Structure 1
């Protein structure tokens, strides 16, 4: 089918998914996922772990669609047989036509489906190049772009000032540095 898709129920924001180079870390059938043409990201606002979740869209709504380019071991949890669904082009849906309440309470957060079943029509979608939104430090290695390293040769993290830490965290969570509070307990 031309509109084969894989839908994921994600607690991450579209901005974070774009920065990371795809949606991760899913337990799925990688061979089957690679056959799908589209990734449909549906927002999950119910994840209580605020360090993990930065959800911004309405619960149960389609927040992002990507044209799948690869399915690779998830950099975040590579040791756990988890997968990252990468895409090279993406589209935001228009607010007036966004499919809402598309997640029907399925137990598994990964669903093999079609665009039509999820209420998405590809006509009129404006596709953008996902590469320009990637954070080179977070992007998957398969992208062919050089990876910046935040670690020293011995594997340790270099010392940071509070201002540097706030800037890095703000960029990661798509916030202003003033919104970051750091508490140090000694």
Structure 2
């Protein structure tokens, strides 16, 4: 529920379950002891009011606690085509190191920079 979000799901609803494929220390500047959780597969769900209103909208729990049968889910592999590796070096804007990001993340960041909505951003990649 953020002005720069392009989410279409109702606020507070559970919409995705992911299969964790690994964890690694965050490479983002200033993240300290934060970790990034990678997922290899995901399944869409529709569970209203699942968010517990904690600080982080991600919820770590068991599927049994949520009443979800993983065998009944339509699992999809994470698309590798939507993640791009930014060039090595530093960001011209902040001087901070840059890393991998998705098109959606890039659109949100650019939208915040220019004061527009993410759907107003178009990105073209030439190989």
TM-score above 0.5, yes or no = yes
Query: Normalization by structure 2: what TM-score?
Result: 0.59
Residue 20 of structure 2 corresponds to residue 103 of structure 1: no
Query: What's the offset of the Cα at 1:172?
Result: 2.5
Residue 76 of structure 2 corresponds to residue 128 of structure 1: yes
RMSD, matched Cα: 3.5
Q: Structure 2 unaligned segments of length 5 or more: list them.
A: 93-102, 112-116, 122-127
Q: Structure 1 unaligned segments of length 5 or more: list them.
A: 1-44, 138-147, 158-168, 181-186
Whole-angstrom distance in 1 between the partners of 2:118 and 2:12: 29
- Higher normalized helix content (fraction of residues): 1
Query: What's the offset of the Cα at 1:170?
Result: 7.1
Whole-angstrom distance in 1 between the partners of 2:107 and 2:91: 23
User: Is residue 71–residue 85 contact of structure 1 (8 Å, CA) maintained in 2?
Assistant: yes
Name the SS for the 2:80 alignment partner.
helix
- Aligned partner of 1:83 in structure 2 is 35
Residue 66 of structure 2 corresponds to residue 118 of structure 1: yes
Q: 1:179 aligns with which of 112, 120, 126?
A: 120
Query: Normalization by structure 1: what TM-score?
Result: 0.43
